[in-house]
Amino acid sequence: MTSEADLIGHRGSGESDAFGVLVERHGNAVFRYAYTLTGNADDAQDLVQDVFMTAWRKRREVRLVDGSVLPWLLVTARNHAANLARKHLRRGDVPLDGMDVVDGARGPQDAVLDREQVEWIWAAISDLTPDLGTVVVSCLVDEKPYADVATELGLEVTAVKKRISRARARIRAQRERGEEGVKA
């Protein structure tokens, strides 16, 4: 298996075919994350394209975390999503995706709360140490089996399980600290 450092061009030539392998490896994960940020498949697809174009342009500057470009891609997606949200806000766009307008059971505030919760979870994952964050994204976001993640990272399955457990405990503690604080 070719390393992501070679594929992104840190040590290799950065040829577009090699870069395409990165898109194949991480395109679905970036799309799922972009969709949670935008709540709209069209915007999510545009974000994915923007993220990978940015990665291509900045391929010599991309930081790998435990040999993976995925954390960098997800942070870049979050930044592009924030830019897109500001653009929609300036234009006065009102997103209807994610709202049940037929029976009125869900309103715009529910979509905003759902999106805020997802954004909080991704921020919490981003705050994890790289060794925990990589395992969380691989196992819980990409839904890869623990054994596959262990093989990819050169770990034992028990080490992957322990990292998932530590990450969950840290995220849970962070949530509890946030609930104790004053919120508007």
Q: Do residues 100 and 170 both lie within one domain?
A: no
What pLDDT score does 80 carry? 85
CB 27 within 8 A of CB 48: yes
- Residue 68's DSSP bridge partners are 65
pLDDT, tens digit, 9 for 90 and up, residues 72-118: 888 888 888 888 777 766 665 555 444 434 444 444 555 555 666 76
How many Å apart are CA 179 and CA 184, to the nearest integer? 11
Domain with 164 in it: what CATH number? 1.10.10
Q: Is the pLDDT of residue 129 over 70?
A: yes
pLDDT digits 0-9 by tens, 14-66 = 455 667 777 888 888 888 888 888 877 888 899 999 988 888 888 778 887 77
The total of structural domains in the chain comes to 2
End position of a domain, from candidates 86, 110, 127: 127
Are 179 and 122 within one domain? no
Query: Same domain for 65 and 82?
Result: yes
Q: Are residues 108 and 56 in the same domain?
A: yes
Nearest to 72 by CA among 85, 95, 56: 56
What would the two tokens of residue 143 be?
């839904």
Do 143 and 71 share a domain, yes or no?
no
Do 45 and 2 share a domain, yes or no?
Answer: yes
pLDDT at site 91: 63
Residues 166 and 95 in one domain: no
In sequence order, the 6+-apart residues with CB closer than 8 A to the CB of 15 are none
* Residues 97 and 141 occupy one common structural domain: no
Tell me how far apart the alpha carbons of residues 111 and 69 are, in angstroms, rounded to a whole number.
Answer: 30
- Pair of tokens at residue 76: 């870049």
Q: What's the DSSP call for residue 62?
A: P
What CATH number is given to the structural domain containing 57?
Answer: 1.10.1740.10
Task: Indicate whether 38 and 84 sit together in one domain.
Answer: yes
Domain carrying residue 183: 128-184
Q: Are residues 76 and 103 in the same domain?
A: yes
C-alpha count within 13 angstroms, C-beta hemisphere, residue 50: 18
H helices of the chain, where?
4-8, 16-38, 41-57, 70-91, 108-127, 130-136, 146-153, 157-180
Integer CA distances (angstroms), 183 to 49, 87, 172, 173, 179, in order: 35, 27, 17, 17, 8
* Cα of 137 vs its chain's centroid, Å: 8
pLDDT range class, residue 161, cuts 50, 70, 90 = very high
Same domain membership, residue 106 and residue 29: yes
User: Within this chain, do residues 79 and 32 fall inside the same structural domain, yes or no?
Assistant: yes
* C-alpha dihedral, 40 to 43 to 45 to 48, nearest 10°: -120
Go through the chain and tell me how many residues it has.
Answer: 184
